[in-house]
Amino acid sequence: MKDRPIKDRFGFYYLGGVILLALVIGGGVSQFLLTDHLIEIALIPAVFIGFRGLFNPQVPTFVRLFTLFSILIIALQFIPIDVVSWPSQNIMSASQLQLFSPVPGKSLESGLYFIMLLGFSLHVMQLKSDAQAGLLKFIFIGAAINIVFVLLQLSYPSRFGTYDVLSYAISVGIFQNENHLSALFVAIIPLLTARFIGETNRWYFYYPLLLVLIIVLYAVGSRAGMFMATIIAIFSVFWFKIGHRLVGKKMFWLAIISPVLFVLVWKNGGFNTYFLDERWLMAQNTWSAIKDHWMLGSGLGSFETTYPLYELTEQIGILYTHHAHNDVLELLLETGLPGLFLSGAVLVLVMLNFNRSLFTQACVLAVFTTILHSTVDYPLRTMAIGMVFSYFLAVIFTKKRKKVRVRVRG
């Protein structure tokens, strides 16, 4: 980076600083958090630069269309509609003309959250490939800071408590929820594997680091995270050891191994834990709500007001359900078919860009790891995980710069 112009170096360190800031204070899960607003303020220049460069050659056409339709979905939340025409919108009012979203304040908050992360991704896309890869070290530093905090918390007799230092209650590391911290650790495993096994073969550094991550996950009580970390680590070593160009061979073995692993987990009762958990009941109730709001969704940020209408009386407990513990179902409930279409298109194009480079493959594995975790929790509702996830997608979708050939006439 030292040979780059000052402008490029400033953009690189600015984006890296924002990533690090998000991993340090962006671990809260609630809306209207002061810490999230501070991160969003820090992201304003990135959003301006990102949207200004929307037609940059490195930004593919799909991303431009995705940006347009995403903004339309956000704008829909604030369009006045006739309540009689949309009876599924649970609006308790004598007036028939109301905004589409039953909770416009939360819709605005959710929309700003998305726009900020989208602008951040667009800015990352405009960087050169080596600068994009260089931002990875800021993610590693953020993860290392959280590990240090976990070790400090382990040194106290009470282990993990609640510390109201930030605008949310710190529980594990600098995160409010131990499962979201585990989502961060699990997501970076493919990137660590690509760096230390696929590129440099420094296994003597990789395996001790991996062991530390798994021990930390065990110490914080995230058994699911420890299990996922072990499986993803084994898979990543297998994947990057073969060589990043032999995708056909990898997919062949993956097609054989995956069903075997699925059967082993099923036979050993691996899925029973989920079906006996409250998450399964939440998923069923959320699906019932989706069937009534499948066309355009219930409105961004409206889960808290929509979900209780589908919760059975005997299921109402002391704890208040503010998220579905399934980001996929919650997104489908709040955005309906438009959200399903855009999300599906993103996943398809992620797969189509899979084999561009070793680094891209690692980012794709990290994306699917985060999505897998999001089917049983809501890590993407935290600014820290949202920022890292947006970074992965930016790397995957960035178009390669075309080499300009200069023809000299003699």
* Dihedral sign of CA atoms 151, 153, 156, 160 in order: negative
- Residues 232 and 260: their CA atoms lie apart, in Å, by 16
| Mean of per-residue pLDDT scores for the chain | 83
**Which residues, 6 or more positions from 101, have their beta carbon under 8 angstroms from its beta carbon?**
77, 78, 107, 299, 300, 301, 302
- Residues 388 and 382: their CA atoms lie apart, in Å, by 10
- Residues 125 and 146: their CA atoms lie apart, in Å, by 27
- Residues 71 and 114: their CA atoms lie apart, in Å, by 9
| Three-state SS at 82 | strand
Q: Where are the domains of the chain?
A: 1-159
- Residues 45 and 152: their CA atoms lie apart, in Å, by 35
- Dump pLDDT digits (tens) for 188-235: 999 999 988 888 888 888 889 888 888 888 877 776 777 788 888 888
Confidence bin at 337 (pLDDT 50/70/90) = very high
Residue 276 pLDDT > 90: no
CA atoms within 13 A on the CB side of 146: 35
| Three-state SS at 126 | coil
Whole-prediction pTM? 0.89
The letter for the amino acid at 302 is S
Least confident of 41-55, 81-95, 242-256: 81-95
- Dump pLDDT digits (tens) for 130-165: 999 999 999 999 999 999 988 888 777 555 555 566
DSSP state of 59: S
Percent of the chain's residues with pLDDT above 90: 43
Least confident of 33-37, 153-157, 327-331: 153-157
Residue 34 pLDDT > 80: yes
User: Is there a contact between 285 and 311 (Cβ–Cβ < 8 Å)?
Assistant: yes
- Residues 354 and 350: their CA atoms lie apart, in Å, by 6
- Dump pLDDT digits (tens) for 40-65: 999 999 999 999 999 999 999 999 99
> In whole angstroms, what separates CA 315 from the centre of its chain?
29
Element (H, E) at 185: helix 178-193
As a whole number, mean pLDDT of residues 314-325 equals: 69
- Residues 347 and 393: their CA atoms lie apart, in Å, by 10
